[in-house]
Amino acid sequence: MIDLKQASINVIKTNQAESGAYVASPTFSQYGYSWLRDGMWIAYSMDCVGEHASATAFHRWVAKTLLRYETQVALVIDKIDQGIELTEADYLPTRFTVDSDLGEEDWPNFQLDGYGAWLWGAVDHCTHHNPQLWAEIRPAIVLTVSYLTALWQSPNYDCWEEFRTEIHIATLGALYGGLQAVMHYDNTIVSPDIVDNIKQYILKNGVADDGHFMKFIDNANVDSSLLWLAVPFGVFDVNDNHFQKTLAKIENDIQSSDGGVYRYQKDTYFGGGEWLLLTCWLAWVYLKLDRVADAHRLITWVEAQATANGDMPEQVANNLLDASYYQGWVDQWGESACPLLWSHAMYLIVVTAMENKAI
């Protein structure tokens, strides 16, 4: 029987470029890039399993990459200060080539969650594994904080690269988590006001009438990315009443009877399948709530979706939300991404947490 933990480590290390970047998937036509969002979780998983040099290389690559676009950030901030309307080309991209270049295809680029997530991950890595790295990457941290401070209330694509004109609650959670982490690590970089303002903004604008957090402002549906609000970004505690209501709605509305978790109710990407990384995320939340048996049940489901050689896909088509969309995506891009490094990363994060909890 294949060791899925070791297989996951091998998949990730094999697909880390010499630059330090991780490709999202080596076999899927659109995923041969490195996303800050995916990459941070991949790097975090490497820290979880003791592969700290891999994580360091990624964070060093991100810092180098972002500083390459320092002039672009300055332009954005200057335009905002002058009241000049920004164009889509002004924003930093959501993904880069492994050599820090921009992608050639037209892509939904203006996404802020990855930048907030990277701040959180960089602080965690420096705090627990490599404090010497902070001085090296600090200029990029400062640059990212200035970028997010200027733009945090702006509508932008969500973490699924959809709904450009909305303000997404999970995105705000990622910004809160990243900025708060930096503030605690180096209080000269981030104003406490912005962290508090983001949390209050969520409470004022992102809570549905029945008390759960919304997918985005004025949309009372839930999205599985709302799990981020508690784990790991800590905007709210896992026992917070709003979060508990959100969790219950996620379990009711977007969890399949077999345990797999969907992105959101009306998802049509590859027919709207169950996502391994989101199922892992729910298991991670369950561990924080001491629902250990529930977490093990979900991880067993995730393991069952792996291929014979241990590769884990992005999503599976066992119980599609709308099967009429499936073939169209396959015809356009091929089968759903497999392996997806983010799926492997979330698996490693949760199984490591399970091992630690058993001690």
Which of 183, 232, 52 has the alpha carbon at shortest distance from 129? 52
Check 161, 166, 186, 253 and give the catalytic one.
161
Catalytic residue flag (residue 311): no
Look at residue 312 and give its three-state secondary structure.
coil
d(CA 173, CA 297): 27
d(CA 223, CA 105): 27
User: Do residues 261 and 224 touch, judged by C-beta distance below 8 A?
Assistant: yes
Q: Burial of 147 by CB count in 10 Å (0-12 exposed, 13-18 middle, 19+ buried)?
A: buried
First to last CA, the chain: 25
Q: Beta-strand (E) ranges in the chain?
A: 34-35, 95-96, 274-275, 315-316
Catalytic residue flag (residue 158): yes
Please give the angle made by the CA atoms of 324, 330 and 336, to the nearest 5 degrees: 105
Check 47, 51, 124, 158 and give the catalytic one.
158
d(CA 341, CA 56): 17
d(CA 18, CA 58): 10
Which residues contact residue 352 at a Cβ distance below 8 angstroms, ignoring those fewer than 6 apart? Answer: 45, 48, 49
**CA distance readout (Å), 91 to 76, 96, 149, 226, 303:** 7, 13, 14, 24, 38
Check 124, 274, 311, 314 and give the catalytic one.
314
Which residues contact residue 70 at a Cβ distance below 8 angstroms, ignoring those fewer than 6 apart? Answer: 143
Catalytic residue flag (residue 136): no
Catalytic site positions: 158, 161, 314
